[in-house]
Amino acid sequence: MAFDWFRKKPSTDSIDNGVKLITVAHPTSPTSEEFRTIRTNIHFMSVDHEIKTVAFTSAHQSEGKSTVTANVAVTWALEGKKVLFIDADMRRPTIHKTFGLSNRQGLTTILSSHDSQIRLDTFIQKSGIDNMSILTSGPIPPNPSELLSSERMNTFVQSVRNAYDIVVLDVPPILEVPDTQVLSAHLDGLVLVVREGKTRKDDVARTVDMLRLSKTNILGYVMNDHKGKNSGYGYGYGYGYTSDK
Ligand SMILES: Nc1ncnc2c1ncn2[C@@H]1O[C@H](COP(=O)(O)OP(=O)(O)OP(=O)(O)O)[C@@H](O)[C@H]1O
Ligand SMILES: [Mg+2]
């Protein structure tokens, strides 16, 4: 396209600096309360079907996946749950920056290793928050989306499922990296992040259709940047869970 250069470049803020952990900096703020409500809603969805592996995604990039995922993961850890937080967004990884960790090795190292005796715990790092362990993305490979949808990825997630109370994944956006669909279908549940004023309704519908096609268990959606609930920190979260979304 001749005018592609003219388009606004996506922000690299989260990739360069990590996301804002409001639940750590301002645990009693209304926004942190919103994150706890999202956590509680997911817990309620666990009644018939235990939810131990959960990912957050969106239709497109920069809709708030990493911000929402990291903060909800923190609320689980602060509640006393043993959490493994995995950066499975290899195209725009942020978790190592958010928690100030090395990303020399991580998920991609595990997935591309041919060593059957590989010790997973050597790749998992402490977050600095009690109960919360981190697996960073690792070096960005040439084929990130293929790794995500690989059988190896599925086997890996299942292998850590029982070692933690909850495994939370930050994954790429569905309409931009369709391979996310394959991974999502193997998880206990997926939450869709929708950014108010940015995500188009027809893109949400397309995303939901794709996830349904792969038989992903859609737990609900988080309305990010919800104008009616601005808390003073520049963030506001609405949430909602309906069976036909
Ligand atoms: N509610 C909000 N209010 C204001 N800024 C926000 C809000 N949510 C996210 N942001 C900002 O928007 C940018 C993108 O957020 P974030 O990195 O969480 O999105 P993402 O969907 O993970 O993006 P990517 O596609 O790059 O992975 C960041 O600069 C973040 O600080
Ligand atoms: Mg992100």
Residue at 86 is within a domain? yes
Q: CB within 8 A of 194, min separation 6: which ones?
A: 58, 59, 63, 204, 221, 222, 223, 224
Whether the CB of 34 sits within 6 Å of ligand 1: no
List phi, psi (to 5°) of 57.
-145, -175
CB 42 within 8 A of CB 167: no
Report residue 175 as tokens. 């309409």
- Structural domain containing residue 139: 33-240
Residue at 10 is within a domain? no
Task: Give the CATH number for residue 105.
Answer: 3.40.50.300
Segment 107-129 shows an average pLDDT of 92
Residue 236 C-alpha from the chain's centroid:
18
Centre of ligand 1 to C-alpha 19, Å, is 7
Q: CB within 8 A of 27, min separation 6: which ones?
A: 78
Residues 49-88 pLDDT 10s: 899 999 999 999 999 999 999 999 999 999 999 999 999 9
Centre of ligand 2 to C-alpha 195, Å, is 13
Residue at 23 is within a domain? no
Residue at 16 is within a domain? no
Q: CB within 8 A of 176, min separation 6: which ones?
A: 60, 61
Question: Where does the pLDDT of residue 207 fall: very low under 50, low under 70, confident under 90, or very high at 90 and above?
Answer: very high
Q: Give how many domains the chain has, as a whole number.
A: 1
Residues 187-204 pLDDT 10s: 999 999 998 888 899 999
Cα-Cα end-to-end distance for the chain: 34
Residue 218 C-alpha from the chain's centroid:
14
Residue at 5 is within a domain? no
Residue at 7 is within a domain? no
**Residue in the structure block whose two tokens are 């690792």:** 138
CB 224 within 8 A of CB 195: yes
How far apart are alpha carbons 111 and 138 in whole angstroms? 10
Whether the CB of 89 sits within 6 Å of ligand 1: yes
Residue at 176 is within a domain? yes
CB 21 within 8 A of CB 68: no
DSSP 55-85: EEE-SSSSSSHHHHHHHHHHHHHHTT--EEE
Whether the CB of 21 sits within 6 Å of ligand 1: no
31-35, 224-228, 230-234: range with lowest mean pLDDT: 230-234
Residue at 24 is within a domain? no
Among 90, 60, 94, which Cα is nearest to 207's? 60
pLDDT of 162: 93
How far apart are alpha carbons 145 and 93 in whole angstroms? 13
Q: CB within 8 A of 95, min separation 6: which ones?
A: 18, 66, 70, 85, 86, 87, 101, 134, 136, 137, 170
pLDDT of 2: 39
Residue 223, strand partner residues: 194, 238
Whether the CB of 130 sits within 6 Å of ligand 1: no
